[in-house]
C-alpha cells in the first residue's frame, strides 16, 4: 500500500507535453489564416505606404503627402469629410425614427419591417444608385409628384443634395440594424419606474432613454461616417464636379493621370481617417459598456 501511494504523484510532464502539443496544433491551424492576412492585407497596405513615400527616381519623399494636403486635393478632402458628416447625421435621424418605430411593433411585424429594411441592402449598389437617378431626375417620380410646387422641376441630381440622398439611403440599413439592437436591449422597467416617479415623456426621453441608447447612436453615426469616407459609386454617379470625393479622386489619378504615388498618398490618408474613426467607435463602445455596468451595479 505504501509503495502504491509513493508512485502516484501528479503527472506533471505529460500535462506539459499535452499543452505544448495543443499549442503546436493551434499554430498549425492558424498558419493559413496568418499567411492569408499577410498576403492580402498587410502586404498591400505596406506596399501602398512605400509607394506614397517614393519619388519618381526611387528616393524617399513626403512630396505626395504635401500635394495631397494642399490646393484642390485638400478641397476634395474637406468635401469628403463634409458629405460624410451630413450622411451620418441624416442616417442617424431617419435611422433613429425608423428603429424606434420598429421596436414598438409586435415581433412578427417587427421582423417583417426589418426584412424590408435589410433586403434592399443585398441589391447591387449600382442598381440602387441608378434607381435614385431615375426617381430624382427632371422627369422622375419626385419631380412629377411635385410638379405643382413653385420652382419645379427641382435640381435633385449632380449636386450635393443628390449625393447626400444617395449615400444616406446606402448607409441607412447599417444604422437601423445597429440602433434596433441597442433599443431592444433597453430595460423598459427603467422607463416605467421614471414614469411612476412623475417624470413626463420628454424628461424620460432626455434623462433616461437617450443616455441608454447614446453609445449606440454614437457608434452608428461613426460607422456611417467611416463607410461614407471611402464610398465611390453613388457620389461618382449622382454628384457633380464640386462633389468629387477622395475615392473618386484616387480613381482619376490612377486611371486618367497614371499618378500612382499621389493616389497611394490619398489612400493612406483615407486609411488613417478610417482607423481614427474605428478607434472612436471602440472608445465609445467601451464607455457605453462601462456606463451600463455602473448603472447595473
Cα angle 229-231-232, degrees, rounded to a multiple of 5 = 135
- Is there a contact between 165 and 235 (Cβ–Cβ < 8 Å)? no
In the chain, the percentage of residues whose pLDDT exceeds 70 is 89
- Is there a contact between 235 and 133 (Cβ–Cβ < 8 Å)? no
The architecture CATH gives domain 65-292: Orthogonal Bundle (1.10)
Domain ranges of the chain: 65-292
pLDDT level of residue 1 (50, 70, 90 thresholds): very low
**How crowded is residue 187: how many other Cβ atoms within 10 Å of its Cβ?**
13
Q: What is the mean pLDDT of residues 235-257?
A: 88
Q: What is the pLDDT of residues 23-37, one digit of tens each?
A: 776 777 778 888 887
Q: Give residue 78's pLDDT.
A: 93
pLDDT mean across residues, the chain: 84
Q: Give residue 59's pLDDT.
A: 80
> CA-CA distance, 83 to 98, in Å (whole number)?
22
Grid cell digits, residue 99: 428603429
Q: What is the pLDDT of residues 221-232, one digit of tens each?
A: 888 998 898 888
Q: Give residue 19's pLDDT.
A: 67
- Is there a contact between 283 and 86 (Cβ–Cβ < 8 Å)? no
Amino acid at each position: 500500500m505504501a509503495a502504491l501511494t509513493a508512485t502516484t504523484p501528479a503527472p506533471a510532464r505529460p500535462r506539459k507535453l499535452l499543452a505544448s502539443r495543443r499549442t503546436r496544433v493551434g499554430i498549425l491551424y492558424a498558419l493559413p489564416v496568418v499567411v492569408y492576412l499577410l498576403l492580402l492585407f498587410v502586404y498591400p497596405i505596406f506596399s501602398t505606404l512605400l509607394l506614397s513615400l517614393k519619388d519618381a527616381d526611387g528616393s524617399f519623399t513626403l512630396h505626395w503627402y504635401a500635394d495631397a494636403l494642399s490646393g484642390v486635393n485638400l478641397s476634395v478632402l474637406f468635401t469628403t469629410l463634409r458629405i460624410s458628416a451630413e450622411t451620418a447625421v441624416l442616417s442617424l435621424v431617419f435611422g433613429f425614427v425608423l428603429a424606434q418605430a420598429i421596436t414598438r411593433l409586435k415581433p412578427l411585424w417587427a421582423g417583417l419591417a426589418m426584412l424590408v429594411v435589410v433586403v434592399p441592402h443585398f441589391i447591387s449598389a449600382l442598381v440602387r444608385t441608378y434607381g435614385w437617378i431615375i426617381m430624382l431626375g427632371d422627369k422622375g417620380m419626385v419631380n412629377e409628384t411635385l410638379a405643382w410646387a413653385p420652382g419645379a422641376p427641382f435640381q435633385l441630381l449632380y449636386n450635393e443634395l443628390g449625393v447626400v440622398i444617395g449615400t444616406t439611403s446606402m448607409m441607412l440599413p447599417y444604422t437601423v440594424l445597429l440602433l434596433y439592437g441597442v433599443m431592444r436591449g433597453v430595460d423598459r422597467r427603467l422607463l416605467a419606474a421614471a414614469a411612476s416617479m412623475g417624470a413626463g415623456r420628454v424628461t424620460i426621453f432626455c434623462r433616461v432613454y437617450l443616455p441608454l441608447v447614446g453609445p449606440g447612436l454614437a457608434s452608428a453615426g461613426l460607422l456611417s461616417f467611416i463607410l461614407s469616407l471611402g464610398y465611390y459609386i453613388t457620389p461618382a454617379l449622382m454628384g457633380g464636379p464640386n462633389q468629387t470625393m477622395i475615392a473618386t479622386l484616387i480613381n482619376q489619378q490612377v486611371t486618367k493621370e497614371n499618378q500612382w504615388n499621389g493616389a497611394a498618398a490619398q489612400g493612406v490618408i483615407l486609411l488613417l481617417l478610417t482607423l481614427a474613426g474605428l478607434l472612436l467607435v471602440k472608445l465609445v463602445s467601451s464607455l457605453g459598456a462601462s456606463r451600463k455596468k455602473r448603472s447595473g451595479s
